[in-house]
Amino acid sequence: AQSVAQPEDQVNVAEGNPLTVKCTYSVSGNPYLFWYVQYPNRGLQFLLKYITGDNLVKGSYGFEAEFNKSQTSFHLKKPSALVSDSALYFCAVRRGGGNNRKLIWGLGTSLAVNP
Amino acid sequence: DGGITQSPKYLFRKEGQNVTLSCEQNLNHDAMYWYRQDPGQGLRLIYYSQIVNDFQKGDIAEGYSVSREKKESFPLTVTSAQKNPTAFYLCASSIGSRVDQPQHFGDGTRLSIL
């Protein structure tokens, strides 16, 4: 069965420090992986995706993510956290190939960046 | 600017009442989706539509209905059969022909019971 796990409900980091939000997945075939961010009472905003190619993907607002096929992971990273990065982060996966547009969503990780 | 508009932002339902949530997009996307978000449960798919006049049930369709008469519009009706409708509802859309493209989201409707 396809699934996405975000093992940490909450991540706390000091402003200026690097941050990592973890995501692991289980899917048959090649995965299409996505990260989204959600601010309070707002919709989700797309940050970045991995489809194929370079394992290090760069996205919006200075975020990047590293695809690791052997560990089935797609961790979100940022070298220097900002207070404004505090939000809820979602990882999602779609099985590559075919016509399947449904996404499998993680439960979200709440990131708190402390000044 | 292109985007997805959900209305109203807040909605209250009385017992036994059906309510309809609006979702309109001007992105020219073929595919549209409705999600329900509850605290700690992530996003759960209610219905999705890949083309006008066609839609499929998602994981939690019971107590909900949709229509897709126009490409731009995908309204969701929360019926009286949905016994626990209090949640944040999100509408999304994506380019129909490209499965590697992200979904774009509206800013949601928060539904509460009176």
- In the three-class reduction of DSSP (H, G, I as helix; E, B as strand; rest coil), residue A62 is classed as helix
pLDDT band at A91 (very low <50, low <70, confident <90, very high): very high
Q: pLDDT digit string (tens) for B8-57?
A: 999 998 888 999 999 999 999 999 999 999 988 889 999 999 999 999 99
Question: Does the structure show a pLDDT above 80 at A98?
Answer: no
Question: Does the structure show a pLDDT above 80 at A13?
Answer: yes
pLDDT band at A107 (very low <50, low <70, confident <90, very high): very high
Report CB contact under 8 Å: A90, B40.
no
pLDDT band at B101 (very low <50, low <70, confident <90, very high): confident
In chain B, residues with a C-beta closer than 8 Å to the C-beta of A43 are 4, 6, 90, 92, 105-108
Interface test with A, best of B54, B105, B112 (most A CBs within 10 A): B105
- Residues B103 and A46: beta-carbon distance below 8 Å: yes
Pairing state between β A10-14 and A109-114 = parallel
pLDDT for B108: 97
Question: What mean pLDDT do residues A30-54 have?
Answer: 94
Question: What mean pLDDT do residues B71-96 have?
Answer: 94
pLDDT for B97: 67
Question: What mean pLDDT do residues A20-37 have?
Answer: 94
Question: Does the structure show a pLDDT above 90 at A95?
Answer: no
Q: pLDDT digit string (tens) for A61-70?
A: 999 999 999 9
- In the three-class reduction of DSSP (H, G, I as helix; E, B as strand; rest coil), residue A84 is classed as helix
Report CB contact under 8 Å: B43, A100.
no
Report CB contact under 8 Å: A43, B102.
no
CA distances from A27 to A72, A92, A104, B20, B77 (A): 9, 11, 10, 35, 32
In chain A, residues with a C-beta closer than 8 Å to the C-beta of B43 are 44, 90, 105
pLDDT for A2: 85
The distance from CA A14 to its chain's CA centroid, rounded to whole angstroms, is 19
Interface test with B, best of A36, A57, A103 (most B CBs within 10 A): A103
